[in-house]
């Protein structure tokens, strides 16, 4: 009986142990797989003992009449399947949406890059094109502005001679421009070389003294700017000191041909002169090759802007120098006359006098003059502002050569020059001091008095008696002019304007 209970107890204990093994298998953490490499090694080490235990257990269960449980197969059934965690797959709609979003994003990025590259390219292309845009003048066949009498009228706005487009801001160039070849090529037909000749003089070895023959020798060189034309001639402006005292003036044009010029009018106090060449002296090819310069506004010039100087340097032919505007309204005194000039560091050498100082648009903003330069200082050149002398150039261009009998007569005598030195010392204006008025003269009739200082006649500045005499030599008798004088009133000089009709010179005044 005791044996029966012993067998039943053993059977219950085995069942309980098997049940515990099953629960352990069910609750095992399969992330650390017991059937991996460690399991294989453990099984191999305990193979003998396990087989013995299984054989004993199977025999005991068989003897008890109970079914044999294969623990190995039970463990395999309890092992999680390899497909316990299936990979999640995207649907067709999700794939299509992802592709569409990627395509849109790529297109936006590519489009943005293309637009950016194009904008940068257009920006620099516009700058390059703007630096190449230049202003051309007009040839002889172009129409010019004229007054009611048919006289040449100087175009100070530049609109008549403007054949080139510019930017909206009027600036076709920029501070970064370094290549001015296109500008120079356009303006060069408007600039001429001037060669002045005097009669050859020599000393007689037998009788002493100096003599002159009919031969001419080159006395000096300069430059000029073609500023207009009338019905019969081309007009060129230059410095007065370039052509002063010349027996013959020769102009050389851009095509290399030369022609003799005659003086149209001079203004020594402003260092300006206008000479002319008849169309009859020019060939058709020369007329077709030359251009009228386009005048700019020197009042709009800014310090630091680029400046281009063109002229017949040292008489070797036309040359170009480039620099910047160094100063405006620079006061320079030469020969007791004070000038207001543009200063530039573009080289202005002997022979450049009368040539053009240009802005980056190819417009003439000044007339170069080496007369005001100092050879001991480098990088300081000067030019007469074109806006200050536009009216005077127009007046000089319309002057006529008069016979002595046609000269105008004012009626002052013993005039005294008031130089800039005296003017500064005495605190008075520079001009001509009137010592005496001729009785019944146009000056007396106009109300001029002894002690007045004549400073201006029409647009001509008067600094000395030679300026006044020069003005009367090209102004016909009977012409009414406006004379500006400084008059002492209540202890100080005040400006007074007088309207004077010039008379004929009396025989004893000729």
Angle at 355 between CA 297 and CA 337, to 5 degrees: 80
Query: Are the CB atoms for 356 and 293 separated by under 8 Å?
Result: yes
Residues 155, 172, 271, 326: which is the catalytic one? 271
DSSP β-bridge partners for residue 166: none
Cβ count near 193 (within 10 Å): 25
What's CA 181's distance to the chain center, in Å? Answer: 14
Report how far residue 342's alpha carbon sits from residue 381's, in angstroms, rounded to the nearest whole number.
8
Distances (CA, A) of 77 to 41, 70, 72, 73: 21, 11, 9, 6
Q: At a CB cut-off of 8 Å and minimum separation 6, what does 348 contact?
A: 309, 311, 321, 355, 368, 369, 370, 373, 381, 382, 383
Residues 353, 397, 429, 441: which is the catalytic one? 353
Residues 223, 241, 270, 319: which is the catalytic one? 241
Cβ count near 115 (within 10 Å): 10
| 123 annotated active-site | no
| 271 annotated active-site | yes
Q: At a CB cut-off of 8 Å and minimum separation 6, what does 434 contact?
A: 412, 415, 443, 448, 449, 450, 451, 452, 453, 454, 485
Report how far residue 470's alpha carbon sits from residue 407's, in angstroms, rounded to the nearest whole number.
10
Q: Note every long-range contact of 448-451, with CB atoms under 8 Å and residues 24 or more positions apart, other chains counting.
A: 448/412, 448/483, 448/485, 448/498, 448/500, 449/487, 451/487, 451/488
Max Cα separation, the chain? 186
DSSP 88-118: P---HHHHHHHHHHHHHHHHHHHHHHHHHHH
Q: Give the N- to C-terminal CA distance of the chain in Å, as an integer.
A: 181
Residues in the chain: 510
Report how far residue 510's alpha carbon sits from residue 499's, in angstroms, rounded to the nearest whole number.
24
Distances (CA, A) of 232 to 136, 140, 163, 263, 430: 22, 10, 24, 15, 38
Give SS3 for 338: strand
| 353 annotated active-site | yes
With residue 396 as reference, give the H or E element that holds it: helix 386-397
Active-site residue set: 241, 271, 353
């Amino acid at each position: 009986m005791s044996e029966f209970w012993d067998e039943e107890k053993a059977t219950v204990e085995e069942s309980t142990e098997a049940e515990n093994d099953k629960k352990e298998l069910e609750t095992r953490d399969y992330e650390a797989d017991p059937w991996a490499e460690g399991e294989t090694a453990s099984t191999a080490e305990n193979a003998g003992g396990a087989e013995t235990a299984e054989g004993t257990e199977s025999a005991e269960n068989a003897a008890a009449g109970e079914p044999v449980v294969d623990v190995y197969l039970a463990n395999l059934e309890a092992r999680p399947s390899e497909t316990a965690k299936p990979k999640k797959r995207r649907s067709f709609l999700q794939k299509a949406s992802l592709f569409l979003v990627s395509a849109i994003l790529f297109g936006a990025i590519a489009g943005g890059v293309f637009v950016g590259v194009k904008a940068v390219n257009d920006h620099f292309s516009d700058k390059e094109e703007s630096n190449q845009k230049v202003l051309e003048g007009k040839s002889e066949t172009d129409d010019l502005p004229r007054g009611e009498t048919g006289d040449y009228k100087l175009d100070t706005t530049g609109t008549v001679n403007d054949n080139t487009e510019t930017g909206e801001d009027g600036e076709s160039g920029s501070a970064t421009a370094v290549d001015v070849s296109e500008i120079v090529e356009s303006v060069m037909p408007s600039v001429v070389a001037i060669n002045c000749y005097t009669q050859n003089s020599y000393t007689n070895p037998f009788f002493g003294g100096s003599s002159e023959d009919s031969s001419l020798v080159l006395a000096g060189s300069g430059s000029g700017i073609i500023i207009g034309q009338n019905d019969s001639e081309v007009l060129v402006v230059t410095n007065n000191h370039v052509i002063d005292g010349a027996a013959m003036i020769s102009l050389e044009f851009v095509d290399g041909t030369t022609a003799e010029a005659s003086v149209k009018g001079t203004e020594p106090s402003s260092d300006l002169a206008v000479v002319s060449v008849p169309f009859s002296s020019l060939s058709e090819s020369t007329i077709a090759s030359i251009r009228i310069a386009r005048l700019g506004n020197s009042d709009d010039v800014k310090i630091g802007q680029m400046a281009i100087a063109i002229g017949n340097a040292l008489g070797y032919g036309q040359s170009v120098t480039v620099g910047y505007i160094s100063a405006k309204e620079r006061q320079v005194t030469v020969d007791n006359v004070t000038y207001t000039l543009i200063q530039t560091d573009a080289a202005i050498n002997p022979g450049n006098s009368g040539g053009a100082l240009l802005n980056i648009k190819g417009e003439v903003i000044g007339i170069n003059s080496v007369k005001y330069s100092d050879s001991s200082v480098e990088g300081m050149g000067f030019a007469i502002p074109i806006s200050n002398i536009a009216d005077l150039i127009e007046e000089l261009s319309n002057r006529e050569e008069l016979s002595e009998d046609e000269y105008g007569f004012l009626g002052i005598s013993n005039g005294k020059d008031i130089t800039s030195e005296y003017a500064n010392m005495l605190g008075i204006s520079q001009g001509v001091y009137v010592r005496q008025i001729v009785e019944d003269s146009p000056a007396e009739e106009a109300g001029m008095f002894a002690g007045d200082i004549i400073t201006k006649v029409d647009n001509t500045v008067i600094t000395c008696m030679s300026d006044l005499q020069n003005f009367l030599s090209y102004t016909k008798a009977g012409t009414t002019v406006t004379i500006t004088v400084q008059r002492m009133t209540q202890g100080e000089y005040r400006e007074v304007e007088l309207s004077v009709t010039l008379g004929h010179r009396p025989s004893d005044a000729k």
